Chain A
Amino acid sequence: MTVAQLRNARRFLGGRRALPRTTLRRGSGISLGVAVLWLSLLVLIPLAAVVATAANGGWAGVVTTLSNPQTLAAIRLTLAQAAGVTVVNVVMGTLIAWVLVRDEFPGKRVVEIVIDVPFALPTIVAGLVLLGLYGPRSPLGFDVSNTRSAVFLAFAFVTLPFVVRAVQPVLEELDPEIEQAARSLGASEAQNLVRVVLPSLVPAIAAGAALSFARAVSEYGSLVLISGNLALRTEVTSVRILTYIENGQVAQASVVATVLLLVAFVVIGTLDFLQRKVTRRG
């Protein structure tokens, strides 16, 4: 259930008959058992271990860890920069999706590929990529290495595709007759955009924004080279966790990791809620 399913949720509204409470027979029952076992071993139990380790230190441990100035600074920096980048992505992502769907120009297919690059590129390579143009030997003379802007930049890079890919399919499937009706009633381009098109994009934009935020908050690889990981200044949460791990302070690492997991769950919950809202609205 994600962007792709949000898009498909609308399609599968009233078409199929409702399935009964369970359709599992022996074969599929066993498959379910195996799948659940696999997911437990790989995902559920390891993540639960993180939360359990964090809980082991009790509330005292949590408070101590989170009130550590370096840790606190890292979390604040991460959340703030991620929020800022999400805002930028909402605007730019929607704009780019608009251009991809409604505009025609030579080389548009190149744009499609470019947008997916940050998603497929290894994060460490992304770091090198950004260093080239925004590091010490920048041909633009624009050096953000070891500054907060580097964090912002890295976040912007890795989260580029999310809002675009969330909005694009919805925009593509928008019924042109609705906008034609608006125009026949006298709406200008701007009014059409603001009153008719954008409102129907809001769930998709929100979904993309949620994914973008979660991705930014989790980001690690692209930052290591360009941000300098300066404590209290340009150190993000994931780097802080790694430091704790490398120092053998597993309990503290788990506490901070649990904070990140909480953020992830809030995001997933939002996406689930949005998907059901879209399904209901039809």
Chain B
Amino acid sequence: MSIDIQGVRKQYGTFVALDDIDVTIRTGQLTALLGPSGGGKSTLLRIIAGLEEADAGRVVIDGVDATALPPQKRNVGFVFQHYAAFKHMTVAKNVAFGLEIRHRPKEEIRDRVKELLSLVHLEQFGHRLPSQLSGGQRQRMALARALAVEPRVLLLDEPFGALDSNVRKELRTWLRRLHDEVHVTTVLVTHDQEEALEVADEIVVINDGRIEQIGGPDELYDAPANPFVMEFLGPVTQFRGEFVRPHDIDMFASRASEAFAGRVVATQRVGFEVRVRVVLPSSDAPTVTTTNTSVSVTRAHFEDLGVGVGDEVWLRVARGAARVQSEAVAVGS
């Protein structure tokens, strides 16, 4: 079930949360809305769900204009960051809620709840209260609850944000596998780029109420449209007026073709890699500005090079590496 967002705009007083958003979310896909906190992605998700109203624009769900529809008529499943568990109901009752208010026969409800609880591996916890579950379990319950009414779209608002990092990683993988099994169109809001890269089929990068780029994880990582996207999705360093990934810079101990000379000012060993800070004279005015370039090499390679602080090295951007013009240079030259 595709979702078409057309010209959506949302403002809180003078603060513009979403500025003329156009995006299509494809059927059956797991799409991530990725961006920094306060960038507007949660707002967009809630507008899709009908939990908030856009000031302008349309939300078309599967060809039907849903802009004016209240949430209960949109058939979307929503999972909240802090679970929104019905505290006074058992896990089973929570999951059954959507079916009970639709007045389904008791047997049908019982079977469906059982099915869902085993899908999310909470079979043994049906009679417990949410307060007796861990955070990760509560979120799985919330997912089962949302899936119970067979929504056309599943919307997840930073679902793992409130969990410990190892639980987060576990659930991330589990969510992807669940999606592969169930194939519901899913939209996931997250500020964690690793999560988006790992889990999503397509990523929509949103910052300051605007879409920066839309594309698959590889596309966004290898061919970022602007410095923001590049910086958000991975480590970035400046090299001769461009943004480049630190591990995409080849470093040589002696002169090499198309390589530029610089001096090592610092080295830092972090785990399996060594980060080398190199100072290069600016291309135009050798005496004025110098750029600090951080090069990331494996420990083995670094030892092979045999260089240290104060030594001269030659740097070159690797073939096929992602490169984005630095705005300052683009403006100046």
Residues of A within 8 A of B (CB): 17-18
Contacts and interface: CB of A to CB of B under 8 A. Distances in A.
Nearest to B11: A20
Contacts of B12: 17-18
Nearest to B15: A18
A86 to B, nearest CB: 40
Q: Nearest 3 pairs between A and B by C-beta?
A: A18-B12, A18-B13, A17-B12
A113 B13 CA distance: 47
Contacts of B13: 18
A18 B10 CA distance: 13
Nearest to A18: B12
Interface residues of B, number: 2
Interface in B9-43: 12-13
A17 B12 CA distance: 8
A226 to B, nearest CB: 48
Nearest to B53: A20
3 contacts: A17-B12, A18-B12, A18-B13
A18 B12 CA distance: 7
A24 to B, nearest CB: 14
B54 to A, nearest CB: 12
A25 to B, nearest CB: 9
A255 to B, nearest CB: 46
Interface string B169-190: 0000000000000000000000
A18 B43 CA distance: 13
Nearest to A25: B70
Contacts of A17: 12
B194 to A, nearest CB: 28
A103 B289 CA distance: 64
A233 B13 CA distance: 59
A17 B13 CA distance: 11
A124 B13 CA distance: 53
A19 to B, nearest CB: 9
Nearest to B13: A18
A110 to B, nearest CB: 31
A17 B10 CA distance: 13
A99 to B, nearest CB: 33
Contacts of A18: 12-13
A11 to B, nearest CB: 16
B261 to A, nearest CB: 51
A18 B17 CA distance: 12
Nearest to B70: A25
Nearest to A23: B53
Interface in B104-138: none
A17 B40 CA distance: 13
Nearest to A19: B12
A245 B13 CA distance: 53
B192 to A, nearest CB: 22
A273 to B, nearest CB: 24
Nearest to B55: A20
A17 B15 CA distance: 11
B11 to A, nearest CB: 10
Nearest to B43: A17
Interface string B1-15: 000000000001100
Interface string B182-204: 00000000000000000000000
A244 B12 CA distance: 55
B53 to A, nearest CB: 8
A192 B12 CA distance: 42
Interface string B254-296: 0000000000000000000000000000000000000000000
